[in-house]
Structure 1
């Protein structure tokens, strides 16, 4: 995928605020989006889109929510879907979906071990600007998407 923007990793977390503090220290950057039950870091080096998704009590510590690759546009999402289908892989697409407080087009595929991958583009970066937080939100306010 030569046209990818960033690798995407979505982590299930039991405490978004503690996790934000950790990843702020790890990457030396603030989240670009922080809402109740959700935070997103967009790191240039390494090229990473990291999201923290509130899940309450984590039954499997270290378990991933999902992985993904962010691409430039919907044409690239559809090209990826075609390539995956031609390889005989089952896909599930979501077009114009409001996910992670953003309007997105995406295609999902699952690897042989059960890891879920999404190839997606963001069409509208923030669909809920009223939920932006200037102070640390409580984690229990809302669970995020990408299920």
Structure 2
């Protein structure tokens, strides 16, 4: 698998204040800015840091991930995860975080979500999930896989697996 860089997604209460802080901390401007969303695609340290506005819940990390170079790398990760008994959820050509992506999700024992993903291009919207219309913070945050044993991909999901049936 050709890992491009680690990915961290943060929930923040004020996107403008957070962008200002991280621009100062990293010494570079945000790579992408949209209403309620920002991305820093850093070379040194090698990091894909995104943030989206969300109400304070005591949980500041949205999810974690590893950006890879190709869809084949995503498929390789899925195969490896399933071979060792991990539950997975995949999305293809999903619009998430203003990008078109292929991805596979897993969840650790404490409910932390991890994605292995490839960015295939820009998207005009944060996501195309029906849940996004109700709660923008739900985009790019998967529902707990361990609590919902059967998940089915949805072409309209924005990083949020839906339960079957």
DSSP-derived class of the 1:23 partner: helix
DSSP-derived class of the 2:136 partner: coil
Across the aligned residues of Structure 1 and Structure 2, the Cα RMSD in angstroms comes to 1.7
Aligned length: 132
Residue 71 of structure 2 corresponds to residue 74 of structure 1? yes
CA distance in 2, matches of 1:127, 1:116: 23
CA distance in 1, matches of 2:136, 2:31: 18
Would you say the 8 A contact 2:12–2:60 is kept in 1? no
Residue 23 of structure 2 corresponds to residue 30 of structure 1? no
CA distance in 1, matches of 2:30, 2:136: 17
Residue 146 (structure 1) aligned to one of 137, 140, 143:
140
Residue equivalent to 1:134: none
Q: Which moved more, 1:8-17 or 1:62-71?
A: 62-71
Highest RCO, 1 vs 2 (Cα 8 Å, sep ≥ 6): 1
Q: TM-score, normalised by structure 2?
A: 0.76
Residue 42 of structure 2 corresponds to residue 43 of structure 1? yes
Matches within 5 A, 1:93-108: 93-108=90-105
Where structure 1 has 5 or more consecutive residues not aligned to the other structure, the ranges are: 132-141
Q: Which runs of 4+ in 1 moved over 4 A?
A: none
Residue 83 of structure 2 corresponds to residue 83 of structure 1? no
